[in-house]
Amino acid sequence: MASVFERIGPQLKEWIERQHVFFVATAPRADDGFVNCSPKGLDSLRVLDDRTIAYLDLTGSGVETIAHLKENGRIVIMLCAFEGLPRIVRLHGRGAVVHPGDRDFADLAARFPKQSGVRSVIRVELVRISDSCGYAVPLMNFVSERDVLTKWADKKTPAGVIEYQRENNARNLDGLTGVDWLS
């Protein structure tokens, strides 16, 4: 029922990029820190090569993933088949935050549709690629992407989004450093 893969081959790449939602999980080093799991959408995940993925990180109310990655780099991305054959894919790796001032940012961001409110790109070097059955995952129909976050960022303006990040994304729930490149 479960398989581990050495790399993301063409068929798995196509399956990954066809999914409408994925989940990002990270955790701090501290035993009493908050584990985080966030859903993502908006066509924001890309397979860069057979052992590297990236996703477009949009401004949100929290900054858990960025803070955890800066502290320890551990991350897992999970995708579920909500349509078609049942399947769950987990992509474990070491993540890095690529922010707008970084040398690689423009090239990475160009791989995604233009979005308002982009905070960073999260790049993950994979150390384990696996799948499992997904037999208990419900079948669900995709209706459309939500545009609420995009409309929020457009209304704020780019300068307003940066100010929001300074005020709300500087530290995570455990007090770890989040967005620190705006100072």
pLDDT tens figures, 71-87: 999 999 999 999 999 99
Confidence of residue 1 (pLDDT cuts 50, 70, 90): low
pTM of the model: 0.96
pLDDT of residue 178: 97
Beta bridge partners of 49: 52
Q: What whole-number distance in Å separates Cα of residue 136 and Cα of residue 72?
A: 32
Classified as helix, coil or strand, 16 is: helix
pLDDT digits (tens, 9 = 90+) for 143-183: 999 999 999 999 999 999 999 999 999 999 999 999 999 86
* Annotation: CATH topology of 3-168: Pnp Oxidase; Chain A (2.30.110)
Query: Which tokens go with 12?
Result: 């798995």
Q: Which residue has the tokens 């401004």?
A: 59
Q: What whole-number distance in Å separates Cα of residue 37 and Cα of residue 168?
A: 19
Q: Find all residues with CB under 8 Å of 107, minimum gap 6, and list them.
A: none
Amino acid at position 27, single letter: A
